């Protein structure tokens, strides 16, 4: 049976399976403090335009989302999110379980606008009863969005400017990051994200790895004791090198970008086949979503 319902229904890219087999008899330090994690960190950092960032490896997207958000926010602070955002519709209340309200805004084709974010932040700023309401402190967006649409660099610039004006953190869910970066017409790079966002992650689970997400922290405020938050939230894998090895393999010779671009190219062939048969699209998505 060939399944088309998601992009994580196979095991892993053959290069990852080979790397795991080739290193299986070796021994490494635990908890992400090993040479493979360090190598993968340096490979990822080389794409970030010189940003002074930290890279941490977690198992999955939901875990990455609630760990970063819990580390960033105080108990009375909340998250601005599109109505289609993954943390709002598909994570079983994980963010609320951590004690943080989600400020849900109407998205346009899955995307938040800078104007909508500014309006929400301004409403809190001018409120005369701030101690009675939740303070929006972090903006969550997905790249690509849950509908497969992508933000342009200008849209991200505008959102980042609003976040800085109102002192909001900008966090980008990159579970399918490679497909967004590999989409035709995308003018955003990892270096742009490192310049504009306070935190983001590079998805492995849905982009060729067995499992794993690479969380990138740019804002120094978010780096403080982040490994403690990982441990407290059950995300510190004893055999952490298994994650580092996979990301080192994916970023060796830019394999990550090659396989995600190919996936998008194949998805466009499928999309065009539907269009040729007169079957309308739900939304104009340039990715494999």
End-to-end CA separation in angstroms for the chain: 20
The confidence score (pLDDT) of residue 2 equals 81
Are 227 and 30 in contact, with CB atoms under 8 Å apart?
no
| 90 located within any domain | yes
Domain containing 34 equals 26-276
Q: What is the mean pLDDT of residues 42-52?
A: 98
Task: State the CATH number of the domain containing residue 65.
Answer: 3.40.640.10
| 231 located within any domain | yes
The confidence score (pLDDT) of residue 1 equals 81
| pLDDT above 90 (res 180) | yes
The confidence score (pLDDT) of residue 4 equals 80
| 127 located within any domain | yes
| 6 located within any domain | no
159 CB neighbour count, 10 Å cutoff: 26
Percentage of the chain lying above the pLDDT 90 cut: 96
The confidence score (pLDDT) of residue 58 equals 98
| 109 located within any domain | yes
What does the pLDDT look like over 68-115, one tens digit per residue? 999 999 999 999 999 999 999 999 999 999 999 999 999 999 999 999
The confidence score (pLDDT) of residue 93 equals 97
Starting at the edge strand that comes first in sequence, how are the strands of the sheet with 135-142 ordered? Answer: 54-58, 213-217, 199-203, 169-173, 135-142, 77-82, 102-105
DSSP state of 280: P
What does the pLDDT look like over 244-278, one tens digit per residue? 999 999 999 999 999 999 999 999 999 999 999 99
Looking at the whole model, is its pTM more than 0.95?
Answer: yes
- Nearest residue to 167 (alpha-carbon basis) of 116, 112, 122, 131: 122
| pLDDT above 90 (res 289) | no
The confidence score (pLDDT) of residue 146 equals 96
Average pLDDT, the chain: 97
What does the pLDDT look like over 183-233, one tens digit per residue? 999 999 999 999 999 999 999 999 999 999 999 999 999 999 999 999 999
pLDDT band at 7 (very low <50, low <70, confident <90, very high): confident
Residue 269 to residue 266: CA distance in whole angstroms: 5
| pLDDT above 90 (res 177) | yes
What CA–CA distances, in Å, run from 176 to 76, 133, 146, 163, 200? 30, 34, 9, 23, 12
| 12 located within any domain | no
What does the pLDDT look like over 49-72, one tens digit per residue? 999 999 999 999 999 999 999 999
- Report the domain count for the chain: 1
| 288 located within any domain | no
The confidence score (pLDDT) of residue 6 equals 85
What does the pLDDT look like over 140-170, one tens digit per residue? 999 999 999 999 999 999 999 999 999 999 9
């Amino acid at each position: 049976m060939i399944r088309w319902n998601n992009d994580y229904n196979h095991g892993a890219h053959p290069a990852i399976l080979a790397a795991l087999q080739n290193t299986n008899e070796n021994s490494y330090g635990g908890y992400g403090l090993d040479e493979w994690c360090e190598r993968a960190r340096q490979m990822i950092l080389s794409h970030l335009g010189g940003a002074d960032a930290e890279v941490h490896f977690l198992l999955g997207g939901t875990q990455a989302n609630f760990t970063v958000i819990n580390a960033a926010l105080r108990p009375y602070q909340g998250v601005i999110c599109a109505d289609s955002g993954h943390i709002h519709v598909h994570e079983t209340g994980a963010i609320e379980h951590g004690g943080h309200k989600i400020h849900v805004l109407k998205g346009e084709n899955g995307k938040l606008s800078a104007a909508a974010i500014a309006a929400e932040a301004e409403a809190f700023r001018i409120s005369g009863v701030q101690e009675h309401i939740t303070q929006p402190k972090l903006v969550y967006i997905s790249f690509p969005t849950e509908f497969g649409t992508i933000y342009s660099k200008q849209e991200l610039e505008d959102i980042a400017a609003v976040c800085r004006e109102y002192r909001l953190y900008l966090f980008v869910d990159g579970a399918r990051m490679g497909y967004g970066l590999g989409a035709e017409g995308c003018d955003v790079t990892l270096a742009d994200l490192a310049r504009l966002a306070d935190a983001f992650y590079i998805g492995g689970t849905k982009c060729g790895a067995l499992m794993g997400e690479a969380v990138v922290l740019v804002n120094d405020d978010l780096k403080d004791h982040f490994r403690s938050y990982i441990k407290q939230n059950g995300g510190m894998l004893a055999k952490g090198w298994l994650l580092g090895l996979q990301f080192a393999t994916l970023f060796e010779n830019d394999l990550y970008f090659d396989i995600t671009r190919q996936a998008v190219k194949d998805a466009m062939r499928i999309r065009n086949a539907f269009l040729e048969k007169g079957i309308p699209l739900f939304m104009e998505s340039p990715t494999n979503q």
